[in-house]
Every structure is written in structure tokens, then in C-alpha cells.
Chain A
Amino acid sequence: AQSVAQPEDQVNVAEGNPLTVKCTYSVSGNPYLFWYVQYPNRGLQFLLKYITGDNLVKGSYGFEAEFNKSQTSFHLKKPSALVSDSALYFCAVRDRGSTLGRLYFGRGTQLTVWP
């Protein structure tokens, strides 16, 4: 069975400081991993994904994430946070061996960047 854990419901960081939003996953096979962001009353916006190759993936708005197979983690990072980064962040996983391609989401982490 596939599952995603986001261990922190909330992350608070000062503007200009680095941020990390944690994600660990469980899949029966090899994973495809995704990060999405959701602003209030909006849908999900795609940030980045890991498919294969380099474990460090760069995405939109200066975000990046590192795939760590041994720790089954895919943490989202940004070197310098902006107030406008404040939003709800979701990690998601797909089993690349699955024919159905369902995305499994974590519960989300609320990121607050204070000025």
C-alpha cells in the first residue's frame, strides 16, 4: 500500500531564512514523488517532481527537493523564504509500477513565513 507522511502540520520560518518541509513515503515499488502548493480556497499548483536521475530536483519559485531512497524521504527546501511562500504544501507519491497511476497525498503542511 502507498502512503505519505508529512510529520509537521505547521512550519514557521522568518523571511530570508531557509525552509524545509518534510515528507516521507511508503510504496510497494519504486516511487514517483511530487510536491504541490495550495493557496486559500484555490486548487493545487504543481511545484516539482522526482521521476529518475539526479536526486536533487529543482522546481518552480526557487523550490527544490531531495530524493533519499534509503530514508524514503522527499523533503522540500528553499534557501531563502518569502512571505508569499506562505501556503499549504502537499507531498504526493505514485508507484511507478502501478497501472492506475493514482496519486496518494499527505495531510499537508501549513507553511507560514513571517516578515
Chain B
Amino acid sequence: EAEVAQSPRYKITEKSQAVAFWCDPISGHATLYWYRQILGQGPELLVQFQDESVVDDSQLPKDRFSAERLKGVDSTLKIQPAELGDSAMYLCASSPSDYSGNTIYFGEGSWLTVV
């Protein structure tokens, strides 16, 4: 069964350092999402791509977060500089298209701890 691949699974970084997460969606999925899940809360959308274009980044803290999906396949989420409050799980997800009834499939997540 196809899966959304994410790396690294765990990352510990010092405050003010840069950190990056990588995601490879399910093959053929045009829509890619990055969600952030803080412990004890539900996931919240950071950014949504349709192919290589950003369609929703309204909740992305653009002063320190950036995301790209250059060829419309895999994607990278970067944080620079990291802050203590960025400690969370970063979840990548994908779906076949932007049709709202499609199921969104999630990866295993990347745990970030900022110290």
C-alpha cells in the first residue's frame, strides 16, 4: 500500500538554528499538505500545495517558516530560526486532487524538539 514518506522522524535542534523536513507524497497525488500538531491538540494546517503552487498558506508563520514543492512532487518545510514554541509534530499529507471529498492520507510525522 502506498504511503506518504517523511524524514527525519525525530529531530532535536537548538533555538535559533535552522531545521528542514522532507516529504514524498503518494505517487500521483496532486495536493500536498503540511500540518503541525502540538501535543494535546489536533493538527492545524500550515500550507497546502496544488501541484507546485501554494493555494493556502494563511496559517504559515512566514517570518520563519518556508515551504516549497518545486517539481510538484516532493516537498520541503523549513524553519529558520527555530523557537522553543515550534516543538511539535510536523505531519505531511496528500490527496489525489483538490476535491474536498477526497481522503487525505498522512505520513508518520516528524517530531521536532527545540531546546
Residues of A within 8 A of B (CB): 4, 32, 34, 36, 41-46, 49, 51, 90, 92, 94-96, 98-103, 105-108
Name B98-115 residues within 8 Å CB distance of A: 98-109, 111
Check A102–B111 contact: CB distance below 8 A: no
Taking CB atoms and an 8 Å cut-off, the chain B residues in 15-61 that contact chain A are: 31, 33, 40-45, 48, 55-56
Question: How far, in angstroms, from A41 to B111 measured CA to CA in the complex?
Answer: 8
Contacts of A51 in B (CB 8 A): 101
Which B residues lie at the A interface, using CB under 8 A? Answer: 4, 6, 31, 33, 40-45, 48, 55-56, 91, 93, 95, 98-109, 111
Q: State which of A42, A49, A102, A103 has its C-beta within 8 Å of the C-beta of B109.
A: A42
A101 adjacent to B106 (CB under 8 Å): no
Assess the A102–B101 pair: CB atoms within 8 A.
no
Instruction: Collect the chain B residues with CB atoms within 8 Å of residue A99's CB.
Output: 98
Between-chain CB contacts (< 8 Å), 6 pairs: A4-B42, A90-B43, A94-B100, A101-B31, A102-B56, A107-B40
